[in-house]
Amino acid sequence: MIVYKFGGASVRDAGGIRNLAKIVSDEKENLVVVVSAFGKTTNALEKVLKTWMAGDGDYKDLLDNIYRYHLSVAGDLFPSGNSARSRIDVSFSLLGEYLKTHKKRDYDYEYDQIVSFGEIWSTIIVAAFLQYTGLKAEWTNIRGNLITDNRFRDADILWNESTVRIKSVFNFRGTNIYVTQGFIGSTIAGQTTTLGREGSDYTAALIANILDAERVVVWKDVPGLLNADPKWLPDSCRLEEVSYREAVEMTFSGAKVIHPKTIKPLHNKGIPLYVKSFLVPGEAGTVIKSETALKHGLPVFVKKENQIMVSILPKDFSFAMGENLSRIFYLFIQHGIKVNMVEASAISIDVCIDDDRTRVETLIGDLSAQFSAAYNDNVEMLSIRHYTPEAIERITAGREILLEQRTRSSVRFVVRKT
């Protein structure tokens, strides 16, 4: 069997869903189709959440816009009697009711309960459309099957529970196509969780690992993995083959094409990952696998934007390494903050992290008991794999470099945003 994953851009309108149906119908093998929320729905739901959390009644208008967007896509795809429309109505009412009556809990918990609806709506419409075109597709609720811990907004899979359930639900007995949600899961107790932004790729990899898929195909609006974001460096080119190792390094440094957590479950089972364009499905794209024939010596440029560099100094002038280091990183983990880069000297540590203000400010508060902590915001992290002097010059010329780190295969810079 094969796992296909379609991201938000591929299903942002009725045309996109028709294109998805064409790609799916061309595949003759058993398929699990993992789908993200339509277009920018996740961002829009985040706005609903923030407005609602702030006690502002405007969240209703924001939600109504999302509702009308989904209705218009459904309206374009089906005649008015199609049951997908009433399922969408019921699901929106459910969320509306939750927002009206529910006593708010903490941000991360509410995030998962509310933002997860995007994937429910998209999959209802996609599955219904595949059925409408005559395919034997089945909508499957991933909640109750992909079981996670209760770290809301960044949940981790519980392998034993998930393996048993996923194997039993995706059994290909009554159908050869399942349509299910990326990005979301649930705790054993049945509370909805999410796997982190852009987490649908990770869902696809988890399902592939458990079902021993032959391959995973991630359908994107780019022709594959490129050696740089073309919006940044317009002369970037497609990489035909990339090793798992290389792909992890690229995505961890900030390459946005696939979610960094995607590679591990695939590597563990040796399952190749294809990144292909949904605009030209016949083209090769990029394959990520263990052995690559091609040694691309090409420099690979990656930029991670919206970073904060936190500088931490023990107040008592003790060495930064050793116990202080473990205390500091324990706090980062406790606050759910992922470290993108670390540099330590005798008595100071610089850490580059994503600019998530809610989390960063509480972290700094906690650090302040033992350390002086200050941060530079508005910075970016630039990385080059297989660097050359020209490649470095190309991206750092004229930039203010706050931090530089080099190994034999890569170089990283923290620079101020221009």
Among the listed residues 152, 166, 161, 257, the one whose alpha carbon sits nearest the alpha carbon of residue 195 = 152
Determine the interface stretch with ligand ASP among 15-23, 51-59, 96-104, 191-199 (rule: CB under 6 A): 191-199
DSSP 8-state code for residue 146 = S
Determine the interface stretch with Mg ion among 36-44, 80-88, 262-270, 304-312 (rule: CB under 5 A): 36-44
**Does the footprint of ligand ASP cover residue 182 (CB under 6 A)?**
yes
Task: Measure CA 104 to chain center.
Answer: 26
**Does the footprint of ligand ASP cover residue 39 (CB under 6 A)?**
no
Place of tokens 């990489």: 239
Among positions 24, 35, 37, 360, the unique one binding ligand ASP when judged by CB under 6 A:
37
**What x-and-dash track marks residues 193-232 binding ligand ASP by CB under 6 A?**
----xxxx--------------------------------
Q: Which is nearer to Mg ion, 78 or 111 (CB)?
A: 111
| Angle ∠(343,242,216) on CA atoms, nearest 5 | 110
Among the listed residues 335, 382, 6, the one whose alpha carbon sits nearest the alpha carbon of residue 179 = 6
Q: Which is nearer to ligand ASP, 172 or 252 (CB)?
A: 252
Among positions 36, 209, 251, 253, the unique one binding Mg ion when judged by CB under 5 A:
36
**Does the footprint of Mg ion cover residue 8 (CB under 5 A)?**
yes
Q: Which is nearer to ligand ASP, 110 or 198 (CB)?
A: 198
Task: Measure CA 338 to chain center.
Answer: 14
Side-chain half-sphere CA neighbours of 302 within 13 A: 24
Could you say which of Mg ion, ligand ASP, none residue 256 binds, taking C-beta under 5 to 8 angstroms by partner kind? none
Q: Which is nearer to Mg ion, 8 or 185 (CB)?
A: 8
> 181, 118 in Cβ contact below 8 A?
no
> 181, 38 in Cβ contact below 8 A?
no
Nearest distance in Å: CB 304, ligand ASP:
16
Query: E strands along 108-163, which residues?
Result: 137-140
**What x-and-dash track marks residues 135-174 binding ligand ASP by CB under 6 A?**
----------------------------------------
Give 327-332's long-range contacts (Cβ < 8 A, gap of 24+). 327/370, 328/367, 328/371, 331/363, 331/366, 331/367, 332/363
Determine the interface stretch with ligand ASP among 21-29, 70-78, 192-200, 323-331 (rule: CB under 6 A): 192-200
DSSP 8-state code for residue 315 = T
> 41, 73 in Cβ contact below 8 A?
no
Q: Which is nearer to ligand ASP, 34 or 353 (CB)?
A: 34
DSSP 8-state code for residue 8 = G
Q: Which is nearer to Mg ion, 36 or 209 (CB)?
A: 36
- Which stretch of DSSP H or E encloses residue 203? helix 200-211
Among positions 3, 4, 7, 415, the unique one binding ligand ASP when judged by CB under 6 A:
7
Burial code (b: 16+ CB inside 10 Å, e: under 16) for 167-188 equals: eebbeeeebbbbbbbbbbbbbe
Nearby residues of 282 by Cβ (< 8 Å), 6 or more positions away: none
Q: Which is nearer to ligand ASP, 195 or 302 (CB)?
A: 195
Q: Which is nearer to ligand ASP, 111 or 371 (CB)?
A: 111
Nearest distance in Å: CB 255, Mg ion:
16
Among positions 2, 4, 8, 187, the unique one binding ligand ASP when judged by CB under 6 A:
8
Q: Which is nearer to Mg ion, 146 or 415 (CB)?
A: 146
3-state SS, residue 191? coil
Could you say which of Mg ion, ligand ASP, none residue 296 binds, taking C-beta under 5 to 8 angstroms by partner kind? none
**Rounded to whole angstroms, how far apart are CA atoms 257 and 282?**
19
Site for ligand ASP in 243-282 (CB under 6 A): none
Residues near Mg ion, by CB under 5 A: 8, 36
Which residues in this chain contact ligand ASP in the complex, by CB under 6 A?
A: 7-8, 36-37, 42, 118, 182-183, 197-200
